[in-house]
């Protein structure tokens, strides 16, 4: 499974768990450590944990495991590093504070729903 399909699986898993405001930043031309960020928001720390757990479970079924996970216990900002893409699951407050979309504004912003519509199986 290529990285775009893995990313699509992650997006679909996040949306299955009602992640909000899901966006993808295409960083391939400006970043040396990953190609994409998937950024989304949960409604509570438990919701964030549920989104992260579901993404991890779905990708694990495909034989894909994260290199690193951070913030799961606290749940305000959970990071799942899959090398080719990094998933950021935020509380609304943490997303606004860290504002990754502004920090990485040189990346191409893509709507997560739009990416699923372009998915080729």
Q: What is the pLDDT of residues 19-34, one digit of tens each?
A: 999 999 999 888 889 9
Question: How many independent structural domains does the chain possess?
Answer: 1
Query: What is the CATH number for 37?
Result: 3.30.460.10
**pLDDT value, residue 18:** 97
Whether the pLDDT of residue 120 is over 60: the answer is no
Give all strands of the β-sheet with 68-70 in edge-to-edge order.
68-70, 77-81, 85-90, 36-41, 20-26, 108-111
Domain of 26 in residue numbering reads as 3-117
Q: Mean pLDDT in the chain? A: 93
Query: Band of the pLDDT at 67, cuts 50, 70, 90?
Result: very high
102: Cβ–Cβ under 8 A, 6 or more apart, which residues?
Answer: none
């Amino acid at each position: 499974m290529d990285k775009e399909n893995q990313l699509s699986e992650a997006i679909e898993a996040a949306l299955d768990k009602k992640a909000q405001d899901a966006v993808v930043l295409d960083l391939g031309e400006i970043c040396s450590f990953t190609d994409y960020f998937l950024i989304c928001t949960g409604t509570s720390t438990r919701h964030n944990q549920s989104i992260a757990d579901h993404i991890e479970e779905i990708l694990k079924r495909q034989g894909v495991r994260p290199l690193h996970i951070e913030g799961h216990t606290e749940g305000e900002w959970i990071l799942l590093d899959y090398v080719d893409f990094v998933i950021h699951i935020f509380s609304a407050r943490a997303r606004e504070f860290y504002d990754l979309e502004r920090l990485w504004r040189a990346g191409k912003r893509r709507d997560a729903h739009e990416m699923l519509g372009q998915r080729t199986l």
